[in-house]
Amino acid sequence: MSLQDEIIQQLGVKPIIDPEQEIRKRVDFLKEYVLKSGTTGLLIAISGGIDSAVATGLCKKATDELSAETGKDYMTLGVFQPYGEQVDISDSYAVAEAFGLKHRVETNIQEAVDEIALEVEHSLKSIGISRHLSRGGKGNVKARTRMVAQYALAFDLNLLVVGTDHASEAITGFFTKWGDGAVDITPLSTLNKRQVRQLAAVLGVPDSVLAKAPTAGLWEGQTDENELGITYDDNSSYLEGKTISDAAREKLEKQFLKTAHKRNPIPGI
């Protein structure tokens, strides 16, 4: 078995999907988990990108169906988490409007992130290192701070935190998981980026979101493809078992091997 075959098997990606069947399966998955966990709904951070938009659509369908079927109120809480002024925050709100999300909150992370960065810089001085926190380091603080706020809300509202992780991120280790933070449930995990887009088209994700370059918003101008040097088209084709260029394949496989710790449970002894 080739490494490509092993990766596809491990991540559970299908070469072809039926978007409507995948939506139904993933909505049912969310509903079952909410009922088993005894929680009152789902929390999804809406970044304005396609992954969180699709996850929002799935969550809203799940909680609407649960409310109708049980007679109890189940909530999908949309969380907007800008760092200061977010130029594309309108896309996040457009997603909420598209799916009729009535429960929404905004947690601006700028002050918390800047304070953490300042404390780290002070601590570095104590060991003789005078410098600002690196761009990547501060970007990771942003991601982790967002998770802290999400879990604070989820705890008090008895919600599950939904992750937007999918196979195209898992293969590169480019997602909030082990080593970065965590989530409670990941309804997109066996889809590649191309397949997420297929679900988006059926769910009715706004066009402005569909047209955006994928980004984790870690710093101004950051995009996933530029940061990794791998296109999502090549990434998705690889996960569908197709042949891509040797250069792209080598980059993907190297990244996969390098980031195994982000896909595996935390080791102990």
Provide the annotated active-site residues.
51, 169
75: buried, middle or exposed (CB in 10 Å: 19+, 13-18, 0-12)? buried
| Residues linked to residue 41 through DSSP beta bridges, in sequence order | 75
CA separation for the pair 260, 269 (Å, rounded) = 18
Closest by CA position to 66, among listed 40, 88, 92, 44: 40
Rounded-to-10 torsion of CA 113, 116, 120, 122: 110
209: buried, middle or exposed (CB in 10 Å: 19+, 13-18, 0-12)? buried
CA separation for the pair 11, 6 (Å, rounded) = 9
CA separation for the pair 266, 235 (Å, rounded) = 26
Which element (helix H / strand E) includes 42?
A: strand 41-45
95 alpha carbon, distance to own chain's centre: 15
